[in-house]
């Protein structure tokens, strides 16, 4: 054992990592390449994009699922009716509701400045009497935010507490969102108008309908985020909405 011990100790000049046991040598471990932060960042970005696509896609499908497929009479009457321009069918349906006694007065908001009362009345010749007594026109609003502002102005002026909202089915969620921000205390009864050619049941088969619904969904999400960020007091909200409406109209 003495001679063996001396032989091993004589290997002290060699690299200690190479001398093992009875003079066996081991290969040095290869150096591992250093990881850079780029692959990790790209992986995180890809995961974030996939998550965003999944959430946005799920939200869009949920948005489409909430749209009404058929027109139904309102479940109850209200003090007033408001119709947002964007199609002759909206105005016609709103006037029919007024004639049936679902509201005492009708506001048509967002009317083009070049459209006169007589022109709108000619589109509904059987209801001229109602136009003369119970229909108001708003020429100020240029978008949905402005519609909500002018509706509040009109509701406050007439001391109305509830209203039936008439607009397209795909536009109804965003309209109610803006009206809830402008009129948090008023009761809203939706009356969604279903237009031919914009059926939500088979939207994926019609590129034009798909683009319309996707655009409306994006606007709805933007409006939802904006109304959540706003922290103004309820009394100051109409003025804030008015400024926002004027900016969008520019």
Neighbouring C-beta atoms of residue 78, cutoff 10 Å: 22
d(CA 246, CA 250): 6
Greatest distance between any 2 Cα atoms in the chain? 126
Q: Give the pLDDT of residue 172.
A: 96
Residue 53: the pLDDT is 73
pLDDT recorded at residue 4: 46
Chunked mean pLDDT (size 10), the chain, 250 residues:
43 44 50 63 73 74 86 92 89 94 96 90 83 93 96 97 96 96 95 80 83 94 90 46 48
Burial class (CB in 10 A: 0-12, 13-18, 19+), 155: buried
CATH class of 80-245: alpha beta
> What confidence score (pLDDT) does residue 128 get?
83
Work out the mean pLDDT of the chain and round it to a whole number: 80
CA 161 to CA 180: how far, in whole Å?
13
**Domain definitions of the chain by residue range:** 80-245
3-state secondary structure the chain: CHHHHHHHHHHHHCCCCCCECCCECCCCCCCCCCCCHHHHHHHHHHHHHHHHHHHHHHHHHHHHHCCCCCCCCCCCCCCEEEEECCCHHHHHHHHHHHHCCCCCEEEEECCCCCCCHHHHHHCCHHHHHHHHHHEEEECCCCCHHHHHHHHHHHHHHHCCCEEEEEEECCCHHHHHHHHHHHCCCCEEEEEEECCCCCCCCCHHHCHHHHHHHHHHHHHHHHHHHHHHHCCCCCCCHHHHHHHHHHHHHC
Q: Give the pLDDT confidence score for residue 25 in this predicted structure.
A: 52
What pLDDT was estimated at residue 28?
53
pLDDT value of residue 71: 83
Question: What is the C-alpha separation between 164 and 162, in angstroms, rounded?
Answer: 7
For the stretch 104-158, pLDDT in tens is 999 999 999 999 888 888 888 878 888 889 999 999 999 999 999 999 999 999 9
- Please state, in angstroms and rounded to a whole number, the distance separating the CA atoms of residues 241 and 237: 6
């Amino acid at each position: 054992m003495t001679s063996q011990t001396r032989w091993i100790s004589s290997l002290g000049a060699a690299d200690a990592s190479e001398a093992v046991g009875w003079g066996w040598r081991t290969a040095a471990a290869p150096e591992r390449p250093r990881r850079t932060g780029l692959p990790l960042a790209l992986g995180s970005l890809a995961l974030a994009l996939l998550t965003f696509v999944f959430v946005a896609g799920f939200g869009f499908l949920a948005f489409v699922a909430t749209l009404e497929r058929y027109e139904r009479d309102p479940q109850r009457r209200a003090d007033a009716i408001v119709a947002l321009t964007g199609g002759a069918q909206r105005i016609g349906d709103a006037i029919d509701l007024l004639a049936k006694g679902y509201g005492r007065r009708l506001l048509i908001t967002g009317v083009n400045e070049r459209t006169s009362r007589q022109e709108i009345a000619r589109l509904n010749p059987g209801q001229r009497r109602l136009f003369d007594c119970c229909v108001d026109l708003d020429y100020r609003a240029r978008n949905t935010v402005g519609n909500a502002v002018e509706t509040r102005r009109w509701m406050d002026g007439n001391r109305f507490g509830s209203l039936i909202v008439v607009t397209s089915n795909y536009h109804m969620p965003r309209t109610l969102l803006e009206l809830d921000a402008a009129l948090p205390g008023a009761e809203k009864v939706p009356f969604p108008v279903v237009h031919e050619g914009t059926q939500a049941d088979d939207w994926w088969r019609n590129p034009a309908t798909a683009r319309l619904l996707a655009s409306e969904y994006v606007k709805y999400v933007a409006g939802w985020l904006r109304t959540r960020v706003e922290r103004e007091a309820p009394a100051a909200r109409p003025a804030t909405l008015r400024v926002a409406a004027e900016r969008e109209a520019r």
